[in-house]
Amino acid sequence: MQTTEEILKLAQKNQQQARQVIEETGVVGCWQSINARINLIGSLKTGLLMKHRDIDFHIYTPKLDIAESFRAVSLLAGHTGVIAVEYANLSNEEDACLEWHAKYRDKNGDCWQIDMIHMADGSRWDGYFEKIAERIGAIMSPKQKETILRLKFATPDDVKIAGIEYYMAVLRDGIEDYEQFLQWRQTHQQTGIVDWIP
């Protein structure tokens, strides 16, 4: 059983590594080269990245230009540590975006996923997930942060759970341990984009 101190130390270490990955890959500069606005969102932004090596960005340009999107990602793909890139055109879906996932192997041999969602300025989700991250940071107590990190740590590596589920369970519904969380998930099935802001 890991102590709270050990879990907090691991989270801090992984968050430092994630920020190194951002620097090493130059991902921000790749998107800025097409005059895009790129915002860090998700668990790294909120300080809640635990052991799932995932870095999330939302990216905006005046219009959704597929060729320009490919141009930015081709710069990222040119980095020797980037071992795979996946693309999905969701411009006609609810997401109204181009979705990119890059897999990056860092100097320690650890694999990271960089999720990049490219949208048009002023689209439905412009700034939405940035607002969620800001609100979580504003209202989360140290105890709640600890609980979320503990739940993430307790989640088996092969189980995929969206970060927003942990945040709703703890911040909104007061869940305190992993057993409670599993029961909570059975009665709170999430589908599609979750439109909850704390």
Same domain, yes or no: 56 and 100: yes
91 and 97 Cβ atoms separated by less than 8 Å: yes
Confidence of residue 27 (pLDDT cuts 50, 70, 90): very high
Pairing of β 111-120 and β 54-61: parallel
Query: Does residue 110 have a pLDDT over 90?
Result: yes
**pLDDT tens-digit readout, 139-173:** 999 999 999 999 999 999 999 899 999 999 999 99
Same domain, yes or no: 182 and 139: yes
Share of the chain above pLDDT 70, in %: 97
Give the residue among 133, 117, 150 at the shortest CA–CA distance from 47.
133
Among 129, 144, 167, the domain-final residue is 129
| 98 lies in some domain | yes
Helix and strand numbers, DSSP H then E, in the chain: 8, 5
Instruction: Give residues with Cβ within 8 angstroms of 172, minimum separation 6.
Output: 196, 198
Spell out the SS3 assignment of 65-116: CHHHHHHHHHHHHCCCCEEEEEEEEECCCCCCEEEEEEEEECCCCCEEEEEE
Q: What distance in Å separates the CA atoms of residue 55 and residue 19, rounded to the nearest whole number?
A: 9
Structural domain harbouring 50: 4-129
Same domain, yes or no: 102 and 139: no
Q: What is the pLDDT of residue 195?
A: 72
CATH number of the domain encompassing residue 101: 3.30.460.10
Q: What distance in Å separates the CA atoms of residue 16 and residue 20, rounded to the nearest whole number?
A: 6
Q: What is the pLDDT of residue 94?
A: 84
Q: What distance in Å separates the CA atoms of residue 54 and residue 99, rounded to the nearest whole number?
A: 14
Tell me how long the chain is. 198
Query: Does residue 114 have a pLDDT over 80?
Result: yes
| 194 lies in some domain | no
Task: Give the total number of structural domains in the chain.
Answer: 2
